[in-house]
Structure 1
Amino acid sequence: MNPANDPPNVVDLQQRQFGAATGNDRLGDLLKLVRGISLKRINGLVGTLFENVDDALFDLAERAGSNAVQTEYFDGMREVRKKRQLVERLFQEQATKAFGEFAEGKLRPARPEIVPQPANAGLSLVDDQELEESLAVTSMVAKAENRLTRALFQLNQRLSVIIGGGKVEDANNPIAPAALGHAFRLAVREFEVNVQVKLIVYKLFDRYVMAGLEPIYEEVNIELIRAGVLPQIRHTLPAGTRAPLPPGTPMPTAAAEMDAAAATYYAPAAASELQAEIYSTLRSLLASRRGGTDYAPSGAGVGLPGLSPTDLLSALTILQNQSMAARAQADSATDAAQAVQQLKRELLDQVHKLSDDAKERRVSSADEDTIDLVGMLFEYILRDRNLPAQVQALLGRLQIPYLKVAILDKHLFAQKAHPARRLLDSLAEAGKSWSEESDRDHRLYDRIKASVETVLGDFDDDVGVFERELASFDDFVDQHHKRADLAEQRAAEATRGREKLQEARRISAREILKRIEDRDLPPVVHSVLSRPWANYLVLILLRQGEESDEWKNALRFADEFVWSAQPKTTESEHTRLRALLPQLEKALRHGLATVAYHDSDVRQLMQELSQFYRRVLDGQKVETLSAKEVIAGNLAATPDATAAPAGAEGATPAPASQSPVEEIVLSSGSVEPETPAETLADDDECVRAVRELKVGSWIEFVGPDEQRERAKLSWISPISSKYLFVNRRGLKVCDKTVAALATELRRGSAVVLEEVPLFDRALDAIVARLRSAHETAPAAAAGPG
C-alpha cells in the first residue's frame, strides 16, 4: 500500500509503540511476518494430520462390525489419498485469503455453515450430515479457544495494534481456531466420503492441528514483542467477568480493562460447546420419544410422498395472516397458551385444505419434531416466571413465525447467534424489567408489541426481517438505558450521601456520648456538645474525615470543654482554666459559624457561658444534669431526628427566626429504624442467596395487595451493606438490609429472576422434560407387576 495515501490521524497507541515514522509499509511487514510464521507451522500440522489418516481408518476398518462398514473405511482411505494434495492446497488458499481479508478489514466472523438443501429434500431440524459436521467443528473450536485463552487474547491485542486499532476477536482473527476450522471444513468438502469418515478427519484435525496451535501463538507473540508491539501486555487473566461498577467508582487501570476484556471475549467459547451438547442431547431425546414412527392422519396412504416444506410453509403463512387479527386480541397468557396447543392440529387441517392428496400424506418424523419443539419452546415461554403475564402473551403470538424459521433456517436451535433467537432473547430481557408502575406511559410495552407485530406482518420467508428488527429494538433499548443509567446514578449518589450523613451522625453521637455519659454537667455545656458541636463533628467527618487535624482539634475541644465545666478546687486548676477560656471561645465561635449558628444565638450562648465560668472561678455551686436526663430532654425536644446539619450536603440552612437544627439523638446514634425481619442464621440458604446477588440482578417484589414491582439491584452500600433497588427507569424502588431481603425471599414476597437468556433456559427445560418422560416411560410400560 502507498504510504502517501495514508490518513494523517494515526492511532495514538500505534504512535507510542512504533514512533512517528511508522507507516502502512511497516504494518504490512508485520502482517506478513505473522502470516509467514503461522501458515508455515499450521500447514506442517495439516501435513502431519494426513500422514495419520491412513492408520486411523485402517484401525477402524479392522474393528468394523460388518463388511459394508469395513469397505466404507477402505474407500475413505483411497479418497483421502487421492485428494489429499487438493484439500491441502484449498486449505492453504482459504487461510491465505483470510489474511488478505483481515488486512483489508473485510474478514467476517467465522460461523458454522450448513449447505442449503434443495426444497424437495425433505424437512428436518438440520440435515443430519451437515449438522454432525457443524457440531464437530463448533465443539473443537470451543475447546481450543478455552484452552488458548491467554495466548489468543495477547495475539488479538497485538493484531489490533498492527492494523491500526481495529477490533480483533477470536471470531475474526485469521489464525484463531474459528477461522482455521472454517477453512478446513470448506476444503474437506472435496472428499466424497460418508459422514463417519469425515468425522474421523475432523477428530484428527483437532488432535494434530488445534492441539498444536499454542506453540505457534507463542512464537508469533514473541516475534511481535521483538518488533515492539505491546511488549508490556499482562500475562494473567481474571477468573471471571467483572461486575458493573457502581456510580462514582474510580475507573480501573488500562491493564485491568484489558484483562476484563479478555474474560468477556472468551466467555462465548464455552457456551458454544455447551450449546452443541445440549442440542445433540435434544435431538436424541426427540428421536427416542418418537420411537421411529411418523405422525400421520389415520388411514394415511402407504408409499405416498411426505408433506413437502412448501406445503407446510404455505399453510403456516395462511395461518399467520388469518390469525393476526384474532391473536392481536389475545390479552392474556391463557389465550396464547390455547393457541400454542391448537397450532399443530390447525396446521395439518390447513395443509389438507390446500391439497386433496395431502390428506393421505404424512408428516415426516423430523418435521413433527420441529413442530413439537417449537411448541414446547412457546409453552415454556408462557409459563416462564421471569416474564410478566402481559409480556408472555405478546411473545406467545410469535409461535407461527418461529416455526417457519425452524423450517427455513436450520440454525435456529443449533446456533446462539441466530438473529431470530437473539431477537426473542432481547424482547424477553427487556420484558423481564417491565411492570405497570415503571411503564405508565406504556413505551416499553408498546415497543415490544410493535416488534411482535412487525415479525407477524413482515416475515414471509426472509429471515433478515429478524436481524433488522433486532437492530431496531436494540437501538431503542440502548437509548432507554442511557436515560435510565443517569437516573440510576443519581439514585445511588443520593443514597450514598444519606448513608455517609447517617454514619457521620452515629460516629459523632458516639464520640459525644463517650465524653458526657458518666458525668454530671451544666445544661449549657450539655446543650453545646449534643447539638451545635455534634453538628460540627458531622460536617468535619463529611468534609475532611476522621484522620484530619480539624477532626482531632474538634474532639480536643470537646475534652477540654468538659474539663472546664468540672468544679475547680486548686489554684493551678483556676490558672489553667483562665488560660484556656480564650482558646475555648475562639474554637467554639469557629465551630458555631461553620454550622451556621445564628449571631443572636451565639451572643446569648457566650453570655451564658461567661456567667457560668464566673461562678466556677468564684467557687460557686452550679446546677448540673446527668446524661440520662439530657438524653430524655433531647428526645422530647427534637422535632426531626433525620434532618441534616446546616451546611451538610443536601441540607437547607435554618431560617434566622428558628433555632439550630437538633439532629443528634444521643440515646442510640441511629436515625433510621430497620425494617422488621426474621432472625436468620448466616448460613441460612436465603441469606446466602442474598449475599450471592450481583449488581444488575433483577428481583420481583410482591406487595400486600399483590401489586408486583420489578427492580434491579443497583448498588450495595459499603457502609451499611444495604441493597439499593431501582426500576427500569433508574428510579429508586427501595433499599433493603441483608436480613430484610432474606426474610422476603423466604416468605415469597421477593423472587430472584433468572439471568440466563430465555432461549437457553427454554432448551434446558425441554431437555429435562424429555429426559423425565424418557425415564418414566419404561417403568409405566412395565406396569405395577
Structure 2
Amino acid sequence: MKTASNQNVVHINKFEKSRISSSSTTQFLNDSRDMAASKLVNALSDMLGKAVDEFFLLSETNTGFEMRNLYMEAMTLARDKRAILESAFKQQFLQSFAKETRKDKNASFSASASLESDFSLVDPDELEESLAAINIANNIHGTCAEALFGIEKRIGILLHDPELSNHNNPIGPEVIGAAFMEALKDWNCDVKVKLLLVRLFNKYMPDQLKDMYQEINQHLVEKGVLPKIRVGMKKQASSASASGMTLPAGGIAAGQPVVGGNELFATLQQLLTLGGGGMGISQPGVAGGFTGGVAGNGSAIGSSAGGIAGIPAQIGSGVMEALNKLQHGQIEGFVSNGGALDAAAFTGGRTNVLREIKSSSVANTLGHVDSMTLDIVAMLFDYILDDRNIPDAIKALIGRLQIPMLKVAMMDKTFFSQKSHPARKFLDTLAGAAIGWDEAEGHQGGLYKLVDSLVQKVLNEFEDEVGIFVEVEEELEQFLAAEKHQADELTGRSAQVIHHQEREEIAKIMAHDEVRRRIHAQHLPEVIRNFLTGYWKPLLTSAYIQTGEDGVRWNNAIDTMDNLVWSVTSKPAPEDRKKLVSLLPGLLKRLQDGMETAGMPEEERNAFFSTLVRCHADAVKSGLQTTAEASAAEEFNASELDLPDDFALDLSSDAEAHMDFEEIALPATPLEPDFNLLQEISNIADEHTVNKTNELTLSDDNWQADPEVEGDDYTAMVSRLKRGTWIEFLQTDGTSTRAKLAWVSPMKGLYLFTNRLGERAVSITPSGLEMKFRDGLAEIINDDNLVDRAVSNLLDRLNQPVSAIE
C-alpha cells in the first residue's frame, strides 16, 4: 500500500533505477565532475581576463585613494596570479566534489548553520568571506535555476539520494561558491580585494555555469539518467505555507525552476538570522517576530519565497485584508502594544508606521518570511524617512507609501534588487525629482501637487497588481520630461549669456595683445599709437566677437594695422618707397572704412589723415630722422609709453570677481539661439543618469591662467564634478540652498548652476567653488537611486557587530 508521502515526491521508475549499474554510476559522476571542472576553470580564466581590464579602468576613473589602490591590487592579482587561482579553484572544487559524493547525507554540514551557531566567535573577515560564498551560490541559483532542477534530480539518483538538497549537490552553487572563496584564502590580501573579485564572479560566471549545467544535464540524459522527470507538490513546503505562498494546483512542470526568490533578499535574511547587527529585529515569541531561524538544510527559512519562475508569492487573505484596510486609513479594531494605532501616523507619512504594524495584532498572522520581510522594509523606511537628501514635504508623501511597498515586497522579493521593478522605479524617480525641489515652489502647483495625486492614486487603487506603479511612473516621467525641456531652454539662455560675455572678454584681450605688440615693437608717431589704441583696438574686438581668430574681418583688420605701422616706418630703400606708393590707395580706403565702422568723428578722421600724410613724407625722406617726431623716437622706451588709461587691461580682475557666485541676468533682447549649445545642455541629464560610472572630467584650465600648479583634494573634486550633479550650499544666514551644475564654459571654465527649473542661474570660477568646498560651505548631494542607498545602508548596518552599534 502506498503512503501519502510517496504520492507527493519525485517518482523514479524502478526499472530505470536498477538499470544504472554501480560502475556506470561512478562513471557518470566522474563525467559530471570532469565536465564541471573543465568548464569552471575556463570560465574563471575568462572572468579574470575581464577583471584585469575592468579593474584598471575603475582605478583610472575613481578619485578615492583607498578604492583606487584596492582596484589596482585586485587588477594585479587577477593578472599575475591567474594561473595560481585557477589551479587552486580547481583543486578546491575536486576536493569538495569528492567529499560530497562520499559522505552520508545525514551527516551533511551547512555553512549557513555553522555561521549562525558560531556567529559570536567568527572573525569579521571570515564572516564576510562566508557571506560572500552564500552570495555567489544565490547568484548562481538565480541564473541557473531551471538547469539546476534537473542536475539535482539526476545527481541525486547517482548518489542514491532522490531528495538531494542544494547544499549536498557536489557540483552545486554552494560547492562552487565555497571553492572560490577557499581558493582566495591563499592570497594574502585585504578582504575588500576578495569581495571585488566576488562581484565580478557574480557578474560574469553565472551565465557560463548555466551552459555548464545544461551540458551536464544533456550528457546524463543521453546516458539514460532520468530522461524524463515528473514532479508532484510536496506537503512539507513550510517556506511557502509560512509566507502564504500558493503553488500551482498541478505541481511544477518538469524543468520548471524551483529556486525562486532573490539573492539579495536571501542575504538580508541570512544577516537577520545571524543577529541583525543590533538592528532591533523581532525576537522569538514577540508578536510579529520570526520564530524560525534556520531551516534543516541550513538556508534561511523562506529563502525561496517570492515566487517560482516569475510567479509572485501570494499574501495570505487575512494579512492582505488587514493591510488593505490600513492602506486606506481604516485602523478601527487594530491595536499596537495594547493601545489603538495612531491614525495620524498612517496618513501623515512622517513616521515609520511599519514599526507599529510589527507590534500590532496584524503581525500575529504573519508567517516567518513575511515577518522578516516586514522587518527589512521597516528598516528601509527608517533610512528613507531619515534621508536628508529628500525635502521633508516630499518625504512625507513618500512615507505614505509604506504599506503599498510592504505588500509589494511580500509578494515579490525582486523588489529589493531589481532596479527595473515598477514599484522600485517609482520610488527612485520620486526621490530623484525631489532632490532639487524647493519649498518656495509651493504645494499647490508643479511637482508637489503631482506627486501628491500619484501617491493618493496608489493608495486608492493598489491591491495586488503592480501595473498601477507602471502607470504612475509613466505619468511622473512625462511631467519631468516636460519640465526638463523648459529648464533646458532657460539654462541654455543663461549659458549663452556667459558664452557671449566670455567671448567679449577674450576678444578684448586678443585685440589688446595685437595692438600692444605693434606699439612696443616699433618707434611709432604718437598719432598712430593713439589711433591704434583708441579706435583700431575696438574694431579688432568687434571683428573677433563676430568672426573669431580665423575670420576674414579679424584678419583684414590685422593686415590693415600691419600695413599702417609699416607705412610710417623709415623707407631708406628705393623698393620700399616704391611699395609704399602702390600700397597707399588701398590702405587709405581700408582705414576710411574702419574709421566709419569704429564711429570715429569726421573731424578727427580728417585730422588723422592730414597727420598721416606728414608721417609718410617723413618716412620717405629719411626714415623719420629729420623731424621732431624722429628726435623723440631716438629716446623711445616701450615701458615708458604714455598709453591711454583704458589700454592697461587688468587680467586678474575677472578671477577676483568670480570667486563668489554672480547672478546671470538674461538680456531684454534674447540672443540668437545657439542650437549646438542648447543640444549640449539637453544631453547633460542623460550623461549623468545613464552611466554614472563613466565620469565626465571637466577641465578647470583657464586660457589666461598661470602655469598649472598641484592642487589639493578639493581641486580634484571640483575638476571631476559631473554636469547634472546637485550641490548644497550653506548661506551666510545659516540657511542652505541646492543648485545643479548645469554647464561648464569651455573657454574660461566658469561653472553655471541653476535650480531644478533652470532658473536663478549663477556662475562661479573653479577656484571660487574649491574655496566653498574647502570652507565647508558646499557639499555634494548623493543622488544615487534611493532604494540602492537604503539597501546598501541596511547591508552595512546588518554586517556590523552588535557592539559596534550599541
Q: Do both proteins adopt the same fold according to a TM-score greater than 0.5, normalized to the shorter chain?
A: yes
Which SS does the other structure have where 1:412 is aligned?
helix
Contact 2:138-2:173 within 8 A present in 1 as well: no
Contact 2:749-2:765 within 8 A present in 1 as well: yes
Aligned partners of 2:598, 2:719: CA distance in 1, in Å? 44
Aligned partners of 1:436, 1:745: CA distance in 2, in Å? 25
Letter matched to residue 597 of structure 1: A
Aligned partners of 2:478, 2:152: CA distance in 1, in Å? 40
Which SS does the other structure have where 2:325 is aligned?
helix
Which SS does the other structure have where 1:694 is aligned?
coil
Task: Give 1:432 deviation, angstroms.
Answer: 1.5
Is 2:683 aligned against 1:674? no
Letter matched to residue 294 of structure 1: P
- What does residue range 149-548 of structure 1 map to in structure 2 within 5 Å? 181=144, 184=147, 193-196=164-167, 200-201=171-172, 210=208, 279-287=265-273, 288-289=275-276, 293-297=283-287, 309-322=316-329, 336-337=349-350, 339-340=351-352, 343-346=354-357, 348-351=359-362, 361=364, 366-436=369-439, 442-517=445-520, 524-547=527-550
Which SS does the other structure have where 1:735 is aligned?
strand
Aligned-residue CA RMSD in angstroms?
A: 5.2
Aligned partners of 2:436, 2:656: CA distance in 1, in Å? 29
Aligned equivalent of 1:59: 98
Contact 1:317-1:460 within 8 A present in 2 as well: yes
Contact 2:530-2:644 within 8 A present in 1 as well: no
Letter matched to residue 167 of structure 2: Q
Aligned partners of 1:58, 1:615: CA distance in 2, in Å? 103
Contact 1:53-1:201 within 8 A present in 2 as well: no
Task: Give 1:606 deviation, angstroms.
Answer: 3.6
Aligned partners of 2:318, 2:466: CA distance in 1, in Å? 19
Aligned partners of 2:616, 2:346: CA distance in 1, in Å? 83
Aligned equivalent of 1:727: 755
Contact 2:167-2:175 within 8 A present in 1 as well: no
1:56-86 CA distance string (max 9 Å, x none): 997343453763549xxxxxxxxxxxxxxxx
1:398-445 CA distance string (max 9 Å, x none): 222212222233322242322111110011111112224677973112
Contact 1:315-1:350 within 8 A present in 2 as well: no
Contact 1:677-1:739 within 8 A present in 2 as well: no
Which SS does the other structure have where 2:328 is aligned?
helix
Letter matched to residue 356 of structure 2: R
**Please, which of 764, 771, 777 is the counterpart of residue 736 of structure 1?**
764
Which SS does the other structure have where 2:419 is aligned?
coil
What are the ranges of 5 or more consecutive residues in structure 1 without an aligned counterpart? 1-45, 71-131, 143-177, 217-274, 303-307, 352-357, 636-663, 781-785
Task: Give 1:379 deviation, angstroms.
Answer: 1.9
Aligned partners of 2:760, 2:378: CA distance in 1, in Å? 39
Contact 2:539-2:598 within 8 A present in 1 as well: no
Task: Give 1:762 deviation, angstroms.
Answer: 0.8
1:530-567 CA distance string (max 9 Å, x none): 24322332344345443456544433433443455568
Aligned equivalent of 1:146: none
Letter matched to residue 611 of structure 2: Q
**How has the CA–CA distance of structure 1 residues 757 and 300 changed in structure 2, closer, same or farther, with 3 Å as cutoff?**
closer
- What does residue range 48-87 of structure 1 map to in structure 2 within 5 Å? 59-62=98-101, 64=103, 67=106, 69=108
Which stretch of structure 1 is more off in the superposition, 463-472 or 362-371? 362-371
Task: Give 1:724 deviation, angstroms.
Answer: 2.1
**How has the CA–CA distance of structure 1 residues 677 and 331 changed in structure 2, closer, same or farther, with 3 Å as cutoff?**
farther
Letter matched to residue 511 of structure 2: S
Aligned partners of 1:756, 1:745: CA distance in 2, in Å? 21
Task: Give 1:294 deviation, angstroms.
Answer: 2.0
Is 2:139 aligned against 1:139? yes
Aligned equivalent of 1:704: 732
**Please, which of 746, 752, 767 is the counterpart of residue 718 of structure 1?**
746
Task: Give 1:495 deviation, angstroms.
Answer: 2.8
Contact 2:727-2:779 within 8 A present in 1 as well: yes
Aligned partners of 2:511, 2:390: CA distance in 1, in Å? 47
Aligned partners of 1:329, 1:525: CA distance in 2, in Å? 84
Contact 1:696-1:714 within 8 A present in 2 as well: yes
Task: Give 1:510 deviation, angstroms.
Answer: 1.6
**How has the CA–CA distance of structure 1 residues 297 and 545 changed in structure 2, closer, same or farther, with 3 Å as cutoff?**
closer
Which stretch of structure 1 is more off in the superposition, 563-572 or 283-292? 563-572
Which SS does the other structure have where 2:658 is aligned?
coil
Letter matched to residue 770 of structure 2: A
Identity %: 28
Letter matched to residue 514 of structure 1: R
Contact 2:105-2:168 within 8 A present in 1 as well: no
Letter matched to residue 601 of structure 1: P
Aligned partners of 2:546, 2:713: CA distance in 1, in Å? 40
Task: Give 1:689 deviation, angstroms.
Answer: 1.0
Aligned partners of 2:411, 2:166: CA distance in 1, in Å? 23
**How has the CA–CA distance of structure 1 residues 285 and 140 changed in structure 2, closer, same or farther, with 3 Å as cutoff?**
closer
- What does residue range 584-623 of structure 1 map to in structure 2 within 5 Å? 584-593=587-596, 596-598=597-599, 601-602=601-602, 604-614=604-614, 617=617, 621=628
**How has the CA–CA distance of structure 1 residues 723 and 682 changed in structure 2, closer, same or farther, with 3 Å as cutoff?**
farther
What are the ranges of 5 or more consecutive residues in structure 2 without an aligned counterpart? 1-28, 38-93, 110-131, 154-161, 177-203, 215-260, 293-314, 333-340, 619-625, 662-705
Aligned partners of 1:299, 1:133: CA distance in 2, in Å? 27
Contact 1:631-1:666 within 8 A present in 2 as well: no
Contact 2:660-2:764 within 8 A present in 1 as well: no
Which SS does the other structure have where 2:398 is aligned?
helix
Contact 1:438-1:727 within 8 A present in 2 as well: no
Contact 1:49-1:204 within 8 A present in 2 as well: no
Contact 1:721-1:737 within 8 A present in 2 as well: yes
Which SS does the other structure have where 1:590 is aligned?
helix
Which stretch of structure 1 is more off in the superposition, 419-428 or 714-723? 714-723
Task: Give 1:469 deviation, angstroms.
Answer: 1.5
Aligned partners of 2:331, 2:558: CA distance in 1, in Å? 75
TM-score, reference length from structure 1:
0.56
Task: Give 1:763 deviation, angstroms.
Answer: 0.9
Aligned partners of 2:609, 2:331: CA distance in 1, in Å? 85
Aligned partners of 1:601, 1:581: CA distance in 2, in Å? 22
Contact 1:53-1:204 within 8 A present in 2 as well: no
Contact 1:292-1:365 within 8 A present in 2 as well: no
Which SS does the other structure have where 1:715 is aligned?
strand
**Please, which of 747, 752, 777 is the counterpart of residue 775 of structure 2?**
747
Which stretch of structure 1 is more off in the superposition, 366-375 or 424-433? 366-375
Contact 1:695-1:715 within 8 A present in 2 as well: yes
**How has the CA–CA distance of structure 1 residues 485 and 563 changed in structure 2, closer, same or farther, with 3 Å as cutoff?**
same
Letter matched to residue 770 of structure 1: L
Aligned partners of 1:631, 1:572: CA distance in 2, in Å? 34
Aligned partners of 2:587, 2:343: CA distance in 1, in Å? 79
Which SS does the other structure have where 1:538 is aligned?
helix
Aligned partners of 1:440, 1:528: CA distance in 2, in Å? 62
